[in-house]
């Protein structure tokens, strides 16, 4: 009888412990789910702020690149026990001593892999001639004339001794992929590793000091931590697109359309006559920059030749570039932003070598946003002459409408957080999120120890 009572008491104890455990587990799970949802909401508030800040930026303004007052440790809401924040950040420029900057990166500051044209990819660090040929084959670019192959092309392009033919796949051996939807599809190209595309830890010797994860694009923790080696993703994009619209929002006038009336603008009186004569003579404009210091020769009824001047100088060139185009396309894909691209990206473009690219970057640094609204400043600041400008202008723009960034939503004092990788597009009638990936699983990307002055150690202590 005593034994039965003891067994009964033991069973009751086990049931009580089980119920208590389940209750605690349900409570913990509920808190985790709730915290994750709140962190997600805080992060999405950061996305909304990024859209607002980029859309509100005046033409030529690049304050969205680094503005801690807008993007760092912004309070979202207080739920009673937790204060929620977001921080928007991007990798710091290669010449910066900082680990990150609090702002956005524009896609037009990169080279669009789906619209390479004659870009010299070997100017990009790590892009060997072998990788260049393999990539162009993968993208399905038109094959070279009969009698040339990948090895011959490689030797010609690089002026080096041809590499081992086994390093390059023939067109028949590698299936053509076509345009890329995301940069991650570069990992499908033979020879493109994750470390090359997205970067990796600083070095084998320094990894003990780093809290980065090699599975994706992250940044090391703390000021004293060695900087993460960045990959091709700092130079390449697949999303840059410049709407074929003037700064006021209207469609640009197509210079090649005989029926298109010229917009009313403060342009020289002779410009309309110049365009009319060019259209009548079936002249095909490649780019509106052709009008700069241009003339057209015509003959009258007696055969006497007369030169018609466009009247366009470097002073009124900005109006022409803003209001006119050489086509009626809705957008121009793959243009490179002369106001934000790095010297290495600019140097890949035909007609721009590294010294010119560095001169462009040096000149734009001290210029006002109003001066940078179009690419005309390259002439106005005497960085290039008229002939050089006409040669390089078709590949350039002075604005961005797609932006890439990371955002972390987090709560204090608990230290719960969510990290998102985002690309937004402001080039349409309404802003769009065109890419969003939750990368929380990769760990805390930046040390937030000093993000909130009122509770400086909470998140850093919670996550080491």
Average pLDDT estimate for 400-415:
95
For the record, the structure tokens of 163 come out as 């590499």
Between helix 150-158 and helix 129-138 the angle, nearest 10°, is 130
DSSP string across 108-153: GGSEEGGG-TT--GGGSTT--HHHHHHHHHHTTPPPPPTT--HHHH
Distance CA 22, CA 26 (A): 6
Answer with the residue of higher pLDDT: 276 or 211. 276
| Contacts (Cβ under 8 Å, ≥6 apart) of 370 | 58, 60
CA-atom Rg of the chain in angstroms: 28
The pLDDT, as a whole number, for residue 79 is 84
- Please determine, for residue 53, whether its predicted confidence score (pLDDT) is greater than 50: yes
- Are 90 and 404 spatial neighbours (Cβ–Cβ below 8 Å)? yes
SS3 42: helix
Distance CA 7, CA 369 (A): 82
Residue-wise pLDDT tens digits, 278-312:
999 999 999 999 999 999 988 777 777 788 999 99
Q: Is 422 exposed, middle or buried (0-12, 13-18, 19+ CB in 10 A)?
A: buried
Average pLDDT estimate for 141-157:
47
User: How many CB atoms are closer than 10 A to CB 309?
Assistant: 14
SS (H, E, C) 176-208: CCCCCCCHHHHHHCCCCCHHHHHCECCCCCCHH
Answer with the residue of higher pLDDT: 78 or 217. 78
The pLDDT, as a whole number, for residue 13 is 54
The closest of 399, 256, 248 to 329, measured between CA atoms, is: 256
The pLDDT, as a whole number, for residue 4 is 57
- Are 48 and 54 spatial neighbours (Cβ–Cβ below 8 Å)? no
- Please determine, for residue 225, whether its predicted confidence score (pLDDT) is greater than 80: no
Residue-wise pLDDT tens digits, 179-188:
999 999 999 9
Answer with the residue of higher pLDDT: 361 or 8. 361
The closest of 254, 236, 247 to 401, measured between CA atoms, is: 247
Identify the weakest region by mean pLDDT among 16-20, 113-117, 441-445, 448-452.
Answer: 16-20
- Please determine, for residue 210, whether its predicted confidence score (pLDDT) is greater than 90: no
Distance CA 423, CA 249 (A): 22
For the record, the structure tokens of 291 come out as 């009008």
Average pLDDT estimate for 202-227:
41
Distance CA 242, CA 134 (A): 28
Distance CA 457, CA 460 (A): 5
- Are 123 and 347 spatial neighbours (Cβ–Cβ below 8 Å)? yes
The pLDDT, as a whole number, for residue 68 is 95
Residue 19 pLDDT grade (very low, low, confident, very high; cuts 50, 70, 90): very low
- Are 216 and 198 spatial neighbours (Cβ–Cβ below 8 Å)? yes
Residue 12 pLDDT grade (very low, low, confident, very high; cuts 50, 70, 90): low
Partnered with residue 404 across adjacent β-strands are 105, 423
Residue 434: enclosing H or E segment and its boundaries? strand 432-438
- Measured in whole angstroms, how far is the alpha carbon of residue 377 from the centre of its chain? 22
The pLDDT, as a whole number, for residue 316 is 94
The pLDDT, as a whole number, for residue 40 is 96
Q: Is the dihedral of CA 241, 245, 247, 252 positive or negative?
A: positive
- Please determine, for residue 384, whether its predicted confidence score (pLDDT) is greater than 60: yes
| Contacts (Cβ under 8 Å, ≥6 apart) of 437 | 420, 421, 422
The pLDDT, as a whole number, for residue 203 is 56
Distance CA 108, CA 88 (A): 19
Residue-wise pLDDT tens digits, 113-134:
999 999 999 999 999 999 999 9
The closest of 57, 108, 65, 106 to 88, measured between CA atoms, is: 65
The pLDDT, as a whole number, for residue 99 is 81
- Most confident stretch, 147-151, 172-176, 444-448: 444-448
| Average pLDDT for the chain | 82
- Most confident stretch, 177-181, 192-196, 209-213: 192-196
- Are 218 and 442 spatial neighbours (Cβ–Cβ below 8 Å)? yes
The full length of the chain comes to 464
Distance CA 354, CA 360 (A): 10
């Amino acid at each position: 009888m005593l034994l039965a009572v003891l067994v009964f008491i033991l069973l009751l104890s086990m049931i009580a412990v089980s119920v208590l455990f389940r209750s605690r587990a349900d409570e913990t799970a509920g808190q985790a789910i709730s915290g994750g949802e709140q962190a997600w909401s805080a992060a999405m508030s950061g996305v909304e702020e990024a859209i607002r800040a980029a859309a509100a930026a005046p033409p030529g303004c690049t304050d969205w690149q680094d503005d801690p007052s807008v993007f760092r440790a912004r309070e979202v809401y207080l739920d009673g026990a937790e204060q929620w924040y977001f921080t928007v950040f991007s990798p710091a420029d290669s010449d910066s001593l900082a680990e990150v900057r609090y702002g956005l990166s524009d896609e037009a500051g990169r080279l669009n892999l789906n619209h390479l044209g004659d870009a010299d990819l070997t100017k990009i660090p790590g892009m060997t001639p072998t990788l260049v040929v393999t990539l162009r084959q993968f993208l399905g670019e038109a094959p070279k004339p009969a009698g040339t192959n990948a090895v011959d092309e490689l030797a010609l392009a690089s002026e080096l001794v041809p590499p081992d033919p086994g390093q390059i796949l023939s067109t028949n051996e590698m299936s053509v992929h076509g345009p890329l939807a995301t940069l991650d599809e570069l990992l499908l190209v033979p020879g493109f590793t994750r470390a090359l595309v997205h970067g990796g830890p600083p070095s084998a010797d320094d990894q003990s000091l780093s809290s980065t994860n090699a599975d994706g694009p992250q940044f090391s923790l703390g000021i004293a931590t060695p900087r993460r080696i960045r990959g091709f993703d700092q130079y390449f994009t697949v999303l840059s697109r410049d709407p074929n619209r003037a700064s006021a929002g209207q469609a640009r006038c197509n210079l090649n359309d005989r029926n298109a009336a010229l917009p009313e603008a403060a342009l020289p009186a002779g410009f309309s006559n110049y365009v009319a004569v060019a259209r009548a003579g079936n002249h095909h404009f490649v780019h509106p920059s052709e009008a700069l210091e241009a003339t057209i020769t015509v003959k009258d009824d007696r055969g006497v030749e007369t030169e018609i001047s466009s009247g366009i100088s470097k002073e009124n060139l900005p109006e022409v570039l803003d209001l006119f185009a050489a086509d009626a396309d809705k957008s121009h894909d793959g243009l490179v932003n002369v106001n934000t691209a790095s010297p290495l990206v600019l140097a890949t473009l035909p007609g721009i070598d590294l010294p010119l690219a560095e001169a462009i970057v040096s000149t734009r640094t001290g210029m006002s946003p109003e001066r940078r609204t179009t690419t005309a400043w390259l002439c106005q600041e005497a960085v290039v002459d008229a002939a050089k400008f006409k040669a390089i202008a078709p590949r350039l723009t002075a604005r961005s409408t797609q932006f890439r960034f990371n955002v972390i939503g987090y709560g204090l004092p608990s230290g719960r957080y969510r990290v998102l990788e985002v690309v937004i597009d402001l080039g349409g009638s309404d802003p769009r999120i065109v890419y969003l990936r939750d990368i929380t699983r990769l760990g805390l990307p930046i040390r937030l120890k000093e993000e909130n002055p009122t509770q400086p150690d909470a998140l850093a202590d919670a996550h080491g």
